[in-house]
Chains A and B, each alone.
Chain A
Amino acid sequence: MAERYIVGEESRPCLPRHVKLRHDKTRDAWILLAPERVLVPDETAIEIVRSCDGVKTIAVIVDDLAERYAADREVIGTDVKAMLQDLADKGFLINGAD
C-alpha cells in the first residue's frame, strides 16, 4: 500500500512525470496539468513549484524565499509546507529521491 508523502523541512519534492507545469498561450497563464485536472497557480505558487527540483530541500527553498522577500521565515515555511502538502495529498508531488 502506498503511504502518504509528508512534506517536511528535509523533503526534496518534485513534480511527478504526470504533472506538468506549462505556460498556456491561449490564456497567457501558467498552468499545472494533472490527471483530469487543470490547476492555475498564482505567482508565488508557481515560484515554489518551480523550485521543487527534487534536489533542494524545503529548508533551502524556504530560506531562499524568506531572504528574497525579507519575510518571516516561520510564516513562509508554514505556508509553503501547507501548499505543497495539499499538492502531495492530491498525488501531484513526489519525493525527488523516489
Chain B
Amino acid sequence: MDDIVQLENVAEAQARMLPPIAILAELTHRCPLQCPYCSNPLELERANAELPTADWIRAMNEAVDIGVLQIHFSGGEPTARKDLEELVRHAAGIGLYTNLITSGVLLDEDKLQRLFDAGLDHVQLSIQDADAANADRIGNIKDGHRRKLSVARAIRKVGLPLTMNAVVHRQNLHNLAGLIDLAVELEAARLEVAHVQYYGWALKNRASLMPTLEQLQDATATVEAARERLKGVLTIDYVVPDYYARRPKKCMDGWGRRFFNISPAGKVLPCHAAESITGLQFESIRDYSLAWIWENSPALNLYRGTDWMPPLCKTCDQREIDLGGCRCQAFALTGNAAETDPACQKSPVHDIIFDIAVTDSATGAPDYIYRRLGGA
C-alpha cells in the first residue's frame, strides 16, 4: 500500500512557488569542534553579528505563516546560544516540529530535560568516529567522544528520540561497522551515514578526506547488509559521494523549493553552502519579511525550476528528477553555478572529477585544515 507518502513526493499543481517545508536555523557559527568537513562557510560569523532572540522569534512566526512545518536548530553549535531553550519553547508553542542538530559536548541531562520540557521533539547528535582517539582528532577536541557517548545516553534517558549523524570519509570509513554497532548500542532509531560533500571547508580538505572507490563500495555493502539485519531497529539513511556518482543528487529537493537556511546573521539561503557561490546577494530577515524573501529574492529565484538550465540539462529527460543537481558543486568545480552539475555523467567534466577523486584518495593522509575563525 502507498497510503502514506512523503510530502516532497506529493504532486502539486505546477505552481512556480511551493510552500517551504522546513528551515535550517543556523543560530551561531561558534562551535567547540573544528571538523575539517564543516558545512559552515569559510567566512565564519562572529558572535556579535548573530541575530538577537527577538529576530529569531519573528522569523519563526513568519515561517509558520508561509507554511513551514519543521525547524532544525543548528550551527555551529546551537547549544552555545543562551536562548536556545526559549527559542525551542516558542517554536513548539506555534506548532513547529523541533529538531536539535548538535555535537552534544555542551549538553548534560539537566539541560536536555529542560529542552524536553520546552517541547523539543528530536535530537540529531554527530559522532566523528567509533574510535575515540580518531574521533577527537577529527573534531580537534579533547575528550569529546566520551562526552558525546554520555550525552547520547542522557538524550535517551530523558525520553528524546535520537538520530546519530556520522559523516564518513577516508579516515574513518574503516570503522563504519563500529559506527553502526554504536548507533544500536546508544538506542538511536536512525543513523545518517553521510559521505562528505565537498564544499567550503571540506573542499579545502578534499585530499585528506576523499574515500577510495574500494572504500565506497565496501561502505555501500556494509550499509545494505545492516539495513537488512536491523530492519525495525535502526533506520539508516545513506548519502553517497558525488565524485563517484553517475547521476547528480536532487540537491535540497531543488533550489528554493522546499527548504531554506537562515544564517547566524539572518541571511536567507537556499542551502547551507550557498554562500560559497560568490557574486550572489542574499537578503536578510533584518531587512525584509520572510514571505517577501521566499517569493521575491533574486538569488532564490535564480535557479528555481528548470528555466535557468543550460541546454544540456534543459533537453534532458531527467531534469524534473534531479532538478539539475547541485549549484554549489557546479560553481566549486567549474566556476559557473549555472553549469551542469559535474556529478552528472553527461557533464563534459564528469571524467575529470572522477580522476580528482582517484588522485586525492591516493594521497596518504595530509594534516587537516581545521575549521576555525581565520583558519582558512
Asked if A83 and B6 sit within 8 Å, CB to CB, the answer is no
* Chain A residue nearest in CB terms to B188: A2
A28 to chain B, nearest CB (A): 11
Determine whether A66 belongs to the interface, using a CB cutoff of 8 Å to chain B.
Answer: no
Asked if A4 and B69 sit within 8 Å, CB to CB, the answer is no
Asked if B159 and A17 sit within 8 Å, CB to CB, the answer is yes
* Chain B residue nearest in CB terms to A88: B232
Q: A16-B161, A20-B97 are in contact. Are A91 and B3 (CB under 8 A)?
A: no
Q: A4-B232, A26-B66 are in contact. Are A35 and B4 (CB under 8 A)?
A: no
**Which residues B119-136 have CB closer than 8 A to chain A?**
121-122, 124
Asked if A41 and B4 sit within 8 Å, CB to CB, the answer is yes
Asked if A39 and B4 sit within 8 Å, CB to CB, the answer is yes
The prevalent SS among residues of A at the interface is mixed
Asked if B1 and A79 sit within 8 Å, CB to CB, the answer is yes
Cα separation A6 to B67 with both chains bound (whole Å):
35
Asked if B4 and A45 sit within 8 Å, CB to CB, the answer is yes
Cα separation A16 to B232 with both chains bound (whole Å):
15
Asked if B233 and A86 sit within 8 Å, CB to CB, the answer is no
Chain A 79-95: CB-based contact to B (< 8 A → 1; otherwise 0): 10011001111110000
Cα separation A5 to B231 with both chains bound (whole Å):
10
**Which residues B156-201 have CB closer than 8 A to chain A?**
159-161, 163, 184-185, 187, 189-190
Chain B 226-260: CB-based contact to A (< 8 A → 1; otherwise 0): 00000111110000000000000000000000000
A31 surroundings in chain B (CB, below 8 A): 7, 69
Chain B 64-80: CB-based contact to A (< 8 A → 1; otherwise 0): 00110110100000000
A16 to chain B, nearest CB (A): 7
Determine whether B149 belongs to the interface, using a CB cutoff of 8 Å to chain A.
Answer: no
Q: A16-B161, A18-B121 are in contact. Are A39 and B99 (CB under 8 A)?
A: no
Asked if B231 and A4 sit within 8 Å, CB to CB, the answer is yes
Cα separation A79 to B22 with both chains bound (whole Å):
31
B39 to chain A, nearest CB (A): 16
Residue count of chain A within 8 Å CB distance of chain B: 38
Determine whether B316 belongs to the interface, using a CB cutoff of 8 Å to chain A.
Answer: no
B47 to chain A, nearest CB (A): 28
A31 to chain B, nearest CB (A): 7
A83 surroundings in chain B (CB, below 8 A): 1, 3-4
Beyond A2-B184, A38-B21, list 17 extra A-B contacts (CB 8 Å). A1-B233, A2-B233, A18-B121, A18-B122, A20-B121, A26-B67, A33-B69, A35-B163, A36-B99, A36-B124, A37-B6, A39-B6, A41-B3, A42-B4, A45-B3, A83-B1, A89-B232
Pairs of residues from A and B, 9 with the lowest C-beta to C-beta distance, nearest first:
A4-B232, A26-B67, A45-B3, A91-B189, A38-B7, A33-B97, A35-B122, A89-B232, A41-B4
What are 17 A-B interface contacts by the 8 Å CB criterion? A1-B185, A6-B232, A17-B159, A20-B97, A20-B121, A24-B67, A31-B7, A35-B121, A36-B72, A36-B99, A36-B124, A39-B4, A40-B10, A79-B1, A83-B4, A86-B4, A91-B189
